[in-house]
């Protein structure tokens, strides 16, 4: 076997074992308190979930900066920023890439929402969103809508980056409608 064939065989075996090698932590359930965190943004500043109490938060995990699916997903969240702002919603992206990588990604792609660096994998693990392939670890494509009280209101574990922002906006509209109806009663 050639070196390239061996590499491909190893990759195929690793991908086939992905479900067995993902993080042992489970995904937070709807109604549970969202795990707290403080991570560094692309601006080099610390960002804490508790700093967004009183607002809706879309916390989305993505595998890597500069990859095609992640770029599409980020562009769609950027495109829809006015709609998120109208709904009093902040969008936070998380990957295991560095703050410097996020800064370069934001600059190149024209992104103005916060991307957070989870370089020690603790937040991705706490949210059940770390894929571990042995030597390679990355965030799984998961999204959590967190309500103003800090509780998980919706979980997306099957994400299509092409239409995900639209799905999140639709879910937010329904969740906010339900929340408003409860407050009115």
Q: How confident is the model at residue 7 (pLDDT cuts 50, 70, 90)?
A: very low
Tell me the pLDDT tens digit for each residue of 107-156: 999 999 999 999 999 999 999 999 988 888 999 999 999 999 999 999 99
116: CB partners within 8 A, 6+ apart: 39, 40, 41, 47, 92, 93, 94, 102, 123
Domain boundaries, the chain: 21-184
Tell me if residue 106 is catalytic.
no
- Determine the pLDDT at residue 181: 82
Which range is least confidently modeled, 4-18, 42-56, 79-93, 158-172? 4-18
CATH class of 21-184: alpha beta
Cα first-last separation, the chain: 70
- Determine the pLDDT at residue 123: 97
Joined tokens for residue 6? 């061996």
Enter the pTM of the model: 0.85
Mean pLDDT along residues 62-88: 96
Set 70, 74, 91, 152: catalytic member: 70
At residue 80's C-alpha, the angle toward residues 28 and 34, to 5°, is: 15
- Determine the pLDDT at residue 15: 44
CA distance 157 to 7: 29
- Determine the pLDDT at residue 182: 79
Rg (CA), the chain: 17
């Amino acid at each position: 076997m050639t070196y390239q064939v061996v590499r491909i065989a190893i990759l195929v075996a690793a991908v086939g074992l992905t479900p067995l090698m993902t993080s042992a932590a489970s995904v937070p359930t709807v109604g549970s308190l969202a795990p707290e965190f403080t991570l560094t943004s692309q601006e080099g500043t610390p960002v804490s979930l508790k700093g967004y109490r009183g607002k809706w938060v879309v916390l989305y995990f993505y595998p890597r900066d500069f990859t095609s699916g992640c770029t599409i997903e980020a562009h769609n969240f950027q495109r829809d920023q006015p709609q998120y702002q109208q709904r009093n919603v902040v969008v936070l992206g998380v990957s295991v890439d560095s703050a410097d990588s996020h800064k370069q990604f934001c600059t190149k792609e024209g992104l103005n929402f916060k991307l957070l660096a989870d370089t020690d994998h603790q937040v991705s693990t706490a949210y059940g969103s770390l894929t571990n392939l042995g030597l390679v670890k990355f965030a799984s494509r998961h999204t959590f809508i967190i309500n103003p009280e800090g509780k998980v209101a919706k979980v997306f574990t099957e994400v299509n980056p092409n239409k995900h922002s639209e799905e999140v906006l639709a879910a937010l509209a329904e969740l906010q409608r339900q929340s408003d109806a409860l407050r009115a009663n």
